[in-house]
Amino acid sequence: MARIGIVFGLLLFGLTIAGLSTTSQKTYTQFIPMMFGIPLLFLGVVALNPHRRGESVFVALLLALLCTILGGGRLISLGFAWMAGEHINPLSVRLVAGMTIIGGVFVIVAERWRRNRRRSENAVKSSALSSATTTIESATSAAENIDPSAAVTRARADNENPYKTPAILDAPASISPPTPAPSSKLTDHTPK
């Protein structure tokens, strides 16, 4: 989804560049797609980090929804102005329509991605919960099969064994004498 956000941000940039390169007359409407493209591109780059992907896609979704709503509102106002007989710059209408379409498509794609991600996370959680339940049930059945009459070696609880380690670890083992560390000519201070 991160790359898709970057692509849609670049599409909005391209829409602005196309609008600026087609005429020498500049209007503020030509810069509106770029104003939405910059943050959308930035959020796409942030979404490359898997730990921030969900939050950045959600914010990008809200930004694209705002882009679509504002673009649709501007199209409606331009339509009313056109029906009133006012002169309307056709380039502005095309830019706003393109921005609205790009924003709407991104909203649809991002929302579908979020729903699929939520569905897969819920499936993983439910499978983890069922496996945890199975593990608890198997541990309970294993505990029921223990023979209570079997001899159990208790750990000593005296000062020699403060950590209450099992008695088998306290058994004396054959201890080999320590080996001397290799000496170096630089650290050997014995007379020769």
Structural domains in the chain (count)? 1
Q: Do the domain assignments include residue 33?
A: yes
Q: Which of 33-47, 74-88, 112-126 has the lowest mean pLDDT?
A: 112-126
| Predicted pLDDT at 42 | 95
Which has the closest alpha carbon to 17: 30, 36, 29, 6? 30
Q: Do the domain assignments include residue 23?
A: yes
To 10 degrees, the CA torsion angle through 26, 29, 31, 37? -160
Q: Do the domain assignments include residue 168?
A: no
Q: Do the domain assignments include residue 41?
A: yes
> 172-186, pLDDT tens digit by residue?
555 566 666 666 566
CA neighbours closer than 13 Å in the CB half-sphere of residue 65: 9
Q: Do the domain assignments include residue 111?
A: yes
Between 149 and 86, the higher pLDDT residue:
86
| Predicted pLDDT at 127 | 78
Q: Do the domain assignments include residue 172?
A: no
Is residue 138's pLDDT more than 80? no
Is residue 73's pLDDT more than 60? yes
Is residue 1's pLDDT more than 90? no
Give Cα separations from 154 to 45, 61, 160 (angstroms): 60, 63, 15
Q: Do the domain assignments include residue 109?
A: yes
Q: Do the domain assignments include residue 155?
A: no
> 5-54, pLDDT tens digit by residue?
999 999 999 999 998 888 888 888 888 899 999 999 999 999 999 888 88
User: CA-CA distance, 162 to 48, in Å (whole number)?
Assistant: 51
Domain residues for the domain of 97 are 2-121
Between 152 and 113, the higher pLDDT residue:
113
